[in-house]
Amino acid sequence: MKAEVAERFRPILEAKLAETGRFLARQDRPEPPADPGDTIDQAQNAAAADLALQSADLETGLYREVQSALDRLREGAFGICIECEEAINEHRLEAVP
C-alpha cells in the first residue's frame, strides 16, 4: 500500500486509540460492598463486576490492536495481512482499519 494512502488511516487510528484509552482510564475497579446483602444482591454485584471486567478486557484488546496498527503504519507495513502477508483491500480497511 502506498504511504500516502496508508497515512489516510493515521488520524482514524489515533482517534480510536485515544477513545479506547479514555474508556480504560475511566474504568473504576469496583470495591466489594461492605454489606454484601442477600443472595440476589451478591449475584447482581458479581454479574456487574464480571460485565465490567469483560468490557475492560475487550477495550484493552482493541487498544493493543490499534496500537499495533499504528506501529505497522510507522514501519510501512500497514495494509498487509500479518498472517498471509497479502495486501488488504482498501475498502476493507476503510470499514475496519
CA dihedral of 38, 39, 43, 45, whole degrees rounded to 10: 20
Q: The pTM is what?
A: 0.74
Angle at 46 between CA 43 and CA 49, to 5 degrees: 150
SS3 48: helix
pLDDT digits (tens, 9 = 90+) for 41-92: 888 888 888 888 888 899 999 999 999 999 999 999 999 998 999 999 989 9
CATH of residue 67's domain is 1.20.120.910
84 φ, ψ (degrees, to nearest 5):
-105, -10
In a domain, 35, yes or no: no
In a domain, 34, yes or no: no
Question: How many separate domains does the chain show?
Answer: 1
Q: Which domain holds residue 21?
A: 3-28+48-95
In a domain, 38, yes or no: no
